[in-house]
Copies of this chain bind each other. A is one copy, B any other.
Amino acid sequence: MTTTTIGITGMTCGHCVSAVQSELSELPGVEAVDVELVNGGTSTATISSSAPLDAASIDGAVAEAGYTVVPVAS
């Protein structure tokens, strides 16, 4: 099991959360997607997968939902 955490900007509500969860869940190997919404800031998504995920695939899925991946503050 691999866990990947990303930041996402532009999300404002539960509909946005659902859109992101839906797109990320379609990636091969993804088993769970947990999104913490921060309206007006950087939301975070924690993705559990059976193998490490390709960053470009994650970026593409989030873009498909209409949002942008940003680095998470460490």
User: Is the beta-carbon distance between B15 and A39 smaller than 8 angstroms?
Assistant: no
A19 to B39, CA, bound (A): 18
A42 to B19, CA, bound (A): 24
- Inside 8 A of A19's CB, which chain B residues have their CB? 15
Task: Give the size category of A's interface with B.
Answer: under 10
A15 to B22, CA, bound (A): 14
Looking at the assembled complex, report how far the CB atom of A28 sits from the nearest CB atom of chain B, in whole angstroms. 26
- Inside 8 A of A16's CB, which chain B residues have their CB? 13, 15
- Inside 8 A of A12's CB, which chain B residues have their CB? 12-13, 39
Residues of chain A at the chain B interface (Cβ within 8 Å): 12-13, 15-16, 19, 39
